[in-house]
Amino acid sequence: MKASVDELAIFGGRPAFPEVLHVGRPNIGDRGRLLDRINDLLDRRWLTNNGPYLEEFEEQLVKLTGVPHCVAMCNGTVALEIAIRAAGLAQEVIVPSFTFVATPHALQWQGITPVFCDVDPHTHLLDPCRVEELITPRTTGIIGVHLWGRPCRVGELTEIARQHGLRLLFDAAHAFGCSHQGSMIGGFGDAEVFSFHATKFVNSFEGGAVATRDGDLATRVRMMRNFGFVDYDQVSYVGTNGKMTEVAAAMGLTSLESMAEFTAANQQNYHRYLTSLDGIPGLSLLTYDEEERCNYQYVVLEVDQGVRRLGRDLLQQILQAENVFARRYFYPGCHRMEPYRSYFPSARLLLPQTERLVERVLSLPTGTAIGPDEIGTICDIVRFAVSSAPEITERLARSAPLEAAPARERRSEGT
C-alpha cells in the first residue's frame, strides 16, 4: 500500500510488483496432459492435415457449443476471412470500429469495404439502430462482435439481416464458453468465429474456428481451409491454408479440459475487482450478466476523463510504472488506424460513442496467472491514485512533461 505520492513508482518509488503483470497472460492447463499429447503426436508422425487431435478438438467444440459444424483453423483472423468468403460477402459490410483491428482487416484483405458503425455506450456492442442507417444497396452483410464475451443484440440484428436480405456473421473471438439467452455462442447468425489465440480464455497457442448450423456453408469453409481441395487431387474453389496443426489441437484439447478452472479463476478475479474498486469516483467496471454462461476473460474499467484531473491515460502510466501493464483495448478505434483513417477521414463524425469509449477504457490483468492478492494491490494503487489525483497532477505539471504515451505501449494499440 502506498503511503504517500512519493512512493508511487512514477515518482521514483519502488514498483509494487517486481515483475510485469500482463493482460492476456496465457492459461496453461495441465502441462503433463499436453506433453503426453505432444509425445503421442510425435510418435505417430502425424503433425497436421486433419490429424486425430484436430478431429477430437472439433468434436469437443461441437459438444460444448451444441453447434453441429465447428471447423478449426490456424487462427481467428483466417477463420474470419474464410467465413466471410464462404458466406459470399462482398462490396460493403457493416462492422463496429470498437474492436480489434482483425475484424475490419478480414474484410479489407479481400477487397470488401468495412463500413464502421457506432456502438451502444453502455454495452460497447454494435447498436442495431445505427446499423439500419448504414444499409445501402451495396451492403451484403453485418458482422457483430461479441466484445469482451458479452453477446450482441442478436435478435435485433437477425431481424435486420432478414428484412434486408443480408448475411449475418459474429466475431466471437472473445466469447468462447459464453451464452446468450441460454444458448451457447456459436450457433447464431450464418456463422460465428472463435479465436483460440494464446491470450484467449481457451487457447491452442494460435487457433480459431468457424461454427455454423449451415451444412453447406461448413462444407465450403472446410474446403477453403484446405486450398479448395474436394478430393485428393481435385480442387473446386479458391482456397487458402487455414489448417490447425496437431500440436495446436493438442493444446486446444488440454485447454478445454481446464475450462471450468479458468472460468472459476476469472470469475473470482472479476468479483475481487468489483468489490475492491467499488465507490471510487469516476470509475466503473463493465459487468457481466451472471445469469448467462460467461468466461469473464476481460476486466474492463471505464475511467471518466478528467476525474479529479486524472484521466485514463495517466492512470495507465501510473499502473505501468508499478509493473501493471493495463491495456487501452481498443484504442484508438479501427477507424483511426490505417488504411481506414485515410479511406474514411470523416468516419469519426458517425462514431461519437466509439470516439468517447476509446478514450475511457482500460483492460486490467486477470486470468490464472494472477490472484486476489495481486488484484488487491492493483486496486489499492488505483484508489490511491484517484484520491491523490490533485497532488499527482500538480507534481507532474511541475516536473518534465510525461511522454505522450507510455514508452512500452505496443503498436497494436495504434500508438
Please pick, from the candidates 97, 195, 266, 276, the single residue that binds ligand T4K as defined by CB under 6 A: 195
Q: How far apart are CA 334 and CA 13, in angstroms?
A: 36
Q: How far is the CB of 98 from ligand T4K (least distance, A)?
A: 10
Instruction: Give the nearer residue to ligand T4K in terms of CB position, either 76 or 128.
Output: 76
> In this chain, which of 64, 134, 135, 198 binds ligand T4K, going by CB under 6 A?
198
Count the Cβ atoms, other than its own, within 10 Å of residue 280.
18
Euclidean distance between CA atoms 143 and 146, whole angstroms? 10
Q: Does 245 bind ligand T4K (CB under 6 A)?
A: no
* Interface stretch with ligand T4K, choices 30-38, 117-125, 191-199, 261-269 (CB under 6 A): 191-199
Which CB sits closer to ligand T4K, 113 or 320? 320
> Taking CB under 6 A as the rule, which mask of x and - marks residues 121-160 in contact with ligand T4K?
------------------------x---------------
Extract the C-alpha cell encoding 366: 486477470
What gap in Å lies between CA 99 and CA 92, rounded to an integer?
18
Instruction: Give the span between the Cα atoms of 355 and 335, in whole angstroms.
Output: 10
Residue from 114, 128, 151, 208 binding ligand T4K (CB under 6 A) = 208
> 257 with 64: CB under 8 angstroms?
no
Whichever of 97 and 388 has its CB closer to ligand T4K, that residue is 97
Residue from the set 10, 23, 244, 392 that interacts with ligand T4K by CB under 6 A: 23
Reported as half-sphere exposure (CB side, CA atoms, 13 A), residue 340 has a value of 26
3-class secondary structure, 195: strand
Q: Which is nearer to ligand T4K, 22 or 271 (CB)?
A: 22
Closest by CA position to 190, among listed 275, 293, 87: 87
Q: Is 409 one of the binding residues for ligand T4K (CB under 6 A)?
A: no
- Selected from 61, 173, 357, 381, the binder of ligand T4K by CB under 6 A is 173
In the bound complex, what is the minimum distance in angstroms from residue 254's beta carbon to ligand T4K?
Answer: 15
DSSP string, 294-331: -----EEEEE-TTBTTB-HHHHHHHHHHTTEE-B-TTT
**Which residues, in sequence order, are CB contacts of 141 under 8 Å at separation 6+?**
84, 87, 89, 93, 94, 161, 166, 167, 168, 169
Q: Least CB distance from residue 146 to ligand T4K, whole Å? A: 8
Point out which span in 63-71, 197-205, 310-318, 382-390 binds ligand T4K (CB under 6 A).
197-205
39 burial (CB, 10 Å; 0-12 / 13-18 / 19+) is exposed
Q: Is residue 100 within the footprint of ligand T4K (CB under 6 A)? A: yes
Give the interface size with ligand T4K as a residue count (CB under 6 A): 25
Among 75, 158, 353, 377, binds ligand T4K (CB under 6 A): 75
- Under the binding rule (CB under 6 A), the answer on residue 171 touching ligand T4K is yes
Q: Which helix (DSSP H) or strand (DSSP E) does residue 113 occupy?
A: strand 113-117
Give the residues lining the site for ligand T4K (CB under 6 A): 22-26, 75-77, 99-100, 102-103, 145, 171, 173-174, 195, 197-199, 208, 325, 329, 410, 412
